[in-house]
């Protein structure tokens, strides 16, 4: 069929990603939008990308046509800029030279999270014609985080729902090119053109075109075969003569979409599972077509208010973070496995030295153990008549001090050094075993066994040595 834009009568051919490239979409289509409409809808793609950036960074999703995942940049409580990819958090790279307003030839001092990050940044500047040279480097400082970083996850607002609507229409056009051009969808298309930052458009917001769906996506569709897969369902219902869509991001955040009335349609549904972690097509999709529209899509059955009241929105996100956490744990085991292999073959240092190298590299994890051990004891004694001072003591085991180069108080630094020694000892024992287990090593860094060592060897003695 002629490649005509679904929004107007101009020729289509803008070659847009059906699922946004930034979210790991690997497919494009030339037959949906004209250049004007594709560019105009770029704001919807940007809205989706911005809203899901943090989750994509946690999962290390590689945007299409990029070498690696995009990091999530956020501010800590002091306004410092941090960047996160996977479970790795570091000082964010400085902005590009153009934005720094530096004169050619000027000497400036910049902070980087790592040498690798500096090299990467320098390459990027070179592409823009800036030759940056490092004259000297200051002291390398390891910053520790005394408390867990709180990052606000906010998906919502009219812009976000509208962007979900855009995604639904694009998918519908991909699989139902004829129906996507029917006049019945005009109201929905007009809705996508609104700009809710303008007051006159804000008033035109129509409820029940796109809504949050609180149901577990596994119960609505079948289980997504991809670990952090997205689901998109588009179709036409012969019973109601309407076109619908259902979208689930990461099998956690779900939406229903009513695209509008369609004429002379037979019942039909296309269900697409998308793997944002897939390297390339064709392994990125699992598509199933059927001639019944078998899922229920209606705002009444999936009210957001009810979702919040019942706590299912929170449950959905907790489920996501639990899954991501388990996956990070597995990745950590693989990382340690590699390090053990490198150490054993050829055995370059003795176990004690290797253990110390590990403890140095993962010192933030040892600090987390210290934090867990002291808050664990605090909780354990919460209902007892222990002197108040003991609770204060526990609270001060891990304490930040921003005047210190690594962000920790002098006492915490001292406890951390002791804790590192204890974990190194436990590691040394494991490494001396016949077959050192990467999983047991990971548990010493990030699990119950590690917390137990720190509780017994560091935190309990602090309490026991306390004198009134
Ligand atoms: Zn157009």
- CB-CB contact of 440 with 449 (8 Å): yes
Ligand 1 centroid – CA 26 distance (Å): 23
At residue 2 the predicted structure's pLDDT band, cuts being 50, 70 and 90, is low
Residue 139, pLDDT score = 67
The strand pair at 72-75 and 81-85 is best described as antiparallel
Ligand 1 centroid – CA 33 distance (Å): 5
Mean pLDDT of 337-349: 85
Ligand 1 centroid – CA 5 distance (Å): 5
Ligand 1 centroid – CA 8 distance (Å): 4
Ligand 1 centroid – CA 180 distance (Å): 13
- CB-CB contact of 194 with 209 (8 Å): no
Ligand 1 centroid – CA 29 distance (Å): 14
Mean pLDDT of 401-417: 89
Ligand 1 centroid – CA 367 distance (Å): 56
Model pLDDT for residues 228-283, shown as the tens digit of each residue: 999 999 999 999 999 999 999 998 888 999 999 999 889 999 999 999 989 888 88
Model pLDDT for residues 172-203, shown as the tens digit of each residue: 999 999 999 999 999 999 999 999 989 999 99
* Whole-number Å distance between alpha carbons of 54 and 317: 13
Is the predicted pLDDT of residue 62 greater than 70, yes or no? yes
Q: What is the mean pLDDT of the chain?
A: 88
* Whole-number Å distance between alpha carbons of 54 and 37: 28
Ligand 1 centroid – CA 13 distance (Å): 10
As given in the structure block, the two tokens for residue 403 are: 């005047």
Ligand 1 centroid – CA 63 distance (Å): 26
At residue 437 the predicted structure's pLDDT band, cuts being 50, 70 and 90, is very high
Is the predicted pLDDT of residue 311 greater than 70, yes or no? no
| Cis geometry, peptide bond prior to residue 282 (ω within 30 degrees of 0) | yes
Ligand 1 centroid – CA 188 distance (Å): 15
Residue 42, pLDDT score = 93
Sketch the domain layout of the chain as residue ranges.
16-127, 173-308, 312-464
User: Which uninterrupted H or E stretch holds 256?
Assistant: strand 253-261
């Amino acid at each position: 069929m002629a490649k005509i834009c679904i929004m107007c009568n101009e020729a289509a051919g803008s070659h847009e990603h059906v699922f946004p490239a930034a979210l790991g979409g690997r497919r494009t289509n030339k037959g949906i939008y004209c250049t004007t409409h594709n560019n105009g809808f770029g704001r919807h793609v940007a809205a989706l990308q911005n809203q899901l950036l943090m989750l994509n960074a946690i999962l290390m999703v590689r945007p299409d046509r990029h070498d690696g995942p995009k990091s999530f940049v956020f501010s800590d409580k002091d306004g410092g800029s941090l960047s996160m990819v996977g479970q790795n958090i570091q000082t964010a790279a400085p902005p590009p030279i153009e934005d720094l307003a530096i004169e050619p030839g000027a000497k400036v001092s910049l902070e980087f999270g790592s040498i690798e990050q500096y090299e990467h940044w320098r390459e990027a500047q070179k592409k823009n014609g800036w030759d940056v040279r490092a004259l000297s480097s200051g002291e390398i400082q390891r910053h520790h985080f005394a408390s867990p970083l709180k990052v606000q996850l906010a998906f919502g607002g009219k812009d976000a729902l509208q962007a979900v609507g855009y995604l639904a229409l694009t998918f519908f056009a991909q699989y139902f090119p004829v129906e996507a051009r029917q006049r019945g969808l005009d109201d929905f298309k007009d809705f996508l053109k609104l700009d809710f930052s303008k007051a006159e458009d804000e008033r035109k917001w129509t409820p029940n075109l796109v809504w949050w769906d609180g149901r577990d996506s596994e119960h609505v569709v079948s289980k997504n075969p991809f670990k952090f897969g997205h689901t998109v369902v588009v179709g036409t219902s012969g019973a109601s003569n309407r076109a619908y869509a259902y979208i689930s991001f990461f099998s956690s955040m779900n939406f229903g979409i009513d695209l509008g009335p369609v004429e002379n349609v037979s019942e039909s549904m296309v269900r697409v599972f998308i793997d944002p972690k897939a390297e390339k097509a064709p392994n990125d999709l699992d598509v199933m077509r059927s001639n019944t529209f078998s899922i229920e899509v209606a705002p009444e059955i999936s009210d957001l208010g009810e979702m919040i009241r019942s706590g299912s929105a929170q449950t959905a996100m907790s489920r996501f973070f639990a899954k991501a956490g388990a996956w990070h744990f597995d990745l950590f085991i693989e990382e340690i496995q590699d390090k053990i292999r490198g150490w054993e073959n050829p055995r370059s240092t003795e176990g004690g030295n290797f253990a110390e190298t590990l403890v140095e590299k993962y010192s933030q994890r040892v600090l987390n153990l210290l934090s867990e051990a002291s808050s664990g004891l605090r909780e354990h004694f919460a209902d007892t008549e222990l002197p108040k001072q003991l609770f204060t003591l526990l609270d001060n085991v891990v304490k930040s001090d921003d005047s210190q180069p690594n962000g920790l108080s002098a006492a915490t630094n001292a406890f951390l050094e002791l804790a590192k020694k204890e974990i190194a000892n436990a590691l040394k024992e494991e490494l001396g075993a016949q077959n050192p287990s990467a999983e047991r090593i990971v548990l010493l860094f990030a699990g119950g066994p590690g917390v137990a060592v720190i509780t017994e060897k560091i935190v309990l003695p602090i309490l026991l040595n306390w004198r009134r």
